[in-house]
Chains A and B, each alone.
Chain A
Amino acid sequence: GENVEQHPSTLSVQEGDSAVIKCTYSDSASNYFPWYKQELGKRPQLIIDIRSNVGEKKDQRIAVTLNKTAKHFSLHITETQPEDSAVYFCAAGSGSARQLTFGSGTQLTVLP
């Protein structure tokens, strides 16, 4: 089955700096890669996703890149703000299997 590894497990940045979180996956059949943000005690919320037919996707301060050959994808947050502080999860899935395999999460702290 699919295995998703996520790094780093914790990340602290100064407000205004950029944050990068990286994930690798093992199953070459995976073709859907969402990122979720989870605040303490809250539900995971989908913030951006990318499919395997594109290499990069951007939405305001958030971007995701995908390297299918190397089987890794990354989340980039620019101009970080204190409200970006949360746990971020990457995941991988395929159109046929539909279930998502999640990474172990990154606790992002944006220091004011």
Chain B
Amino acid sequence: NAGVMQNPRHLVRRRGQEARLRCSPMKGHSHVYWYRQLPEEGLKFMVYLQKENIIDESGMPKERFSAEFPKEGPSILRIQQVVRGDSAAYFCASSPPSGGGRNEQFFGPGTRLTVL
């Protein structure tokens, strides 16, 4: 059973370009979460999705950031017109379906975005 997968692992973009980060959850997991980690800081929640639905996007900036989790394929975090302040590690996590209070989250290896 493969763990959470993210790609690319490293992404370099110039200011103004678009960044697309992909996340495939663990098999059997239907909940996906995106977190951002700045150097030497903690993980900040961005968005929580289930298949075809955004459940909670309270941590995601209103401008330039969007996320989706289509019926088929990986979840995608999209950052338009990137700025230097977007440079960070972006981690995806997944958890099992609801029920029984099981909300353990398992993290992917992260995508390290560098904006030049």
Listed in ascending order, the chain A residues whose CB lies under 8 Å from chain B are 1, 6, 31-32, 34, 36, 42-46, 49, 51, 89, 91, 93, 95, 97-105
Listed in ascending order, the chain B residues whose CB lies under 8 Å from chain A are 31, 33, 35, 41-45, 48, 55-56, 58-59, 91, 95, 101, 103-110
Q: Within the assembled complex, what's the spacing in Å between the Cα atoms of A11 and B41?
A: 16
How would you classify the secondary structure of chain B's contact residues: helix, strand, loop or mixed? strand
Q: Within the assembled complex, what's the spacing in Å between the Cα atoms of A6 and B43?
A: 13
Q: Taking each of B41, B104, B105, which has the highest tally of chain A beta carbons within 10 Å of its own beta carbon?
A: B105
Which chain A residues border B31 with CB–CB below 8 Å? Answer: 98
Which chain A residues border B45 with CB–CB below 8 Å? Answer: 99-102
Q: Within the assembled complex, what's the spacing in Å between the Cα atoms of A97 and B41?
A: 23
- Partner pick for B91 among A1, A43, A105, CB 8 A cutoff: A43
Contact A99:B56 (CB < 8 A) given known A42-B109, A43-B110, A44-B91: yes
